[in-house]
């Protein structure tokens, strides 16, 4: 990519998209294009086609998606599969029709089977049953991977798919009904601390409600009061977390330095001197790249770390009547390391920075 190349970031207000925008700007890229949902409905084939016809981007970061936690994924199953398929189908196909030089598609490690080997290598895709609660979302993302692979193989495009582990960072979603586990824990424990210290006005402001009684009633729905924070499950599941700005850096590194061919030749023992005709005879699959740290932590240890950083003096209660989800989800990042990138922000440092960002945003 050149510094004046026209680069379209789909989903620029999201956790990863906003980090990619800031990273590109910091590296001197000057011709960035993005639209809000009000300006461009990515589920509309007609609107996306008109956008590509008028803007003609040279590079595309496809970070836009309908996302959410366990409750949202399990409740709005039809919305998650329909909207995500529509978004990615429209953008990938229009990128092909309008000659985009390179596209990056962002998926999720929920594409892997519920009982995948740990850590999860790219090659375990489609080898077993998916986790039920987010199956529609996962199937949409698998379709996106296969769409990119198929367009590359049939049309000679240069599309790269990356599968980030659980992300967190500035501009995360802190909605208690729809957010992922880490931002939800930060907000719940933060509000519990405020209640515990009698800072009722700050609780009301944080939740944007009329008074403290409404705030307490709302928080009680999520197991939060002045002395205790409820957490779903046993606390035993292990999860991996990656700082969103690290994720953005990985994406831009790959877009600047790697191509589709690198994604299937970057394996131990691979023949990197294959001719184009030899490559065509291969079964090329699982070309996506895991993006993560290769390090995980239990939900209990995560919650205790957040409690310590925030300074909450109350109790953490693990409700074992609620589901745990998959017990372990750790990415195998050996392919990513082989391609030349490793994470830099460790979890505690990232949580500390994220909490400072959240408090400043709440002021």
Q: What are phi and psi of 287, to 5 degrees?
A: -85, -5
Sheet holding 159-164, edge to edge: 32-33, 7-10, 59-62, 102-106, 159-164, 289-291
8-state DSSP, 49: H
- Helices (H) and strands (E) in the chain — how many of each? 14, 13
CB 244 within 8 A of CB 15: yes
Distance between CA atoms of residues 298 and 19, nearest Å = 26
Q: DSSP for 139-164, please give it.
A: HHHHHHHHHHHHHHHHH---EEEEEE
In the residue annotation, 155 being an active-site residue is answered as no
Cis preceding linkage at 119, omega within 30 = yes
Distance between CA atoms of residues 20 and 13, nearest Å = 10
Instruction: Residue 317: name the closest of 195, 225, 183 by CA.
Output: 225
Among the listed residues 59, 137, 159, 168, the single catalytic one is: 137
Active site residues: 137
């Amino acid at each position: 990519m050149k510094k004046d190349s026209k680069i379209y970031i789909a989903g620029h207000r999201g956790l990863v998209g906003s980090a990619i925008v800031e990273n590109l700007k910091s590296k001197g890229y000057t011709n960035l294009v993005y639209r809000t949902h009000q300006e461009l409905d990515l589920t509309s084939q007609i609107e996306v086609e008109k956008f590509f016809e008028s803007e003609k981007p040279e590079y595309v970061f496809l970070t836009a998606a309908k996302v959410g936690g366990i409750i949202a994924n399990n409740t709005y199953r039809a919305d998650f599969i329909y909207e995500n398929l529509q978004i990615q189908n429209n953008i990938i196909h229009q990128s092909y029709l309008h000659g985009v030089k390179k596209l990056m598609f962002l998926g999720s490690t929920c594409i892997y089977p519920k009982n995948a080997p740990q850590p999860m290598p790219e090659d375990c895709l489609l080898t077993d049953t998916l986790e039920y609660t987010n199956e529609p979302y996962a199937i949409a993302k698998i379709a996106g991977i296969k769409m990119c692979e198929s367009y590359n193989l049939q049309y000679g495009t240069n599309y790269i798919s990356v599968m980030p582990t659980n992300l967190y960072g500035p501009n995360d979603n802190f909605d208690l009904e729809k957010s992922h586990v880490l931002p939800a824990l930060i907000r719940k424990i933060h509000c519990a601390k405020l209640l515990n210290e009698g800072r009722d006005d700050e609780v009301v402001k944080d939740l944007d409600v009329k008074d403290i009684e409404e705030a307490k009633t709302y928080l009680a729905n999520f197991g939060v009061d002045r002395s205790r924070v409820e957490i779903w499950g046993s606390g035993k599941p292990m999860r991996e977390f990656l700082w969103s700005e690290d994720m953005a850096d990985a994406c831009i590194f790959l877009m600047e330095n790697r191509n589709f061919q690198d994604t299937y030749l970057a394996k131990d023992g691979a023949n990197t001197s294959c001719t184009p005709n030899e490559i065509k005879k291969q079964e090329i699959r699982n070309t996506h790249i895991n993006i993560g740290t290769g390090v995980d932590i239990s939900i209990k240890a995560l919650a205790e770390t957040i409690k310590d950083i925030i300074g909450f003096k109350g109790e953490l209660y693990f409700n074992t009547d609620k589901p745990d989800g998959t017990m372990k989800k750790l990415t195998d990042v050996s392919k990513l390391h082989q391609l030349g990138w490793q994470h830099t922000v460790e979890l505690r440092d990232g949580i500390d920075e994220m909490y400072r960002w959240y408090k400043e945003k709440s002021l």
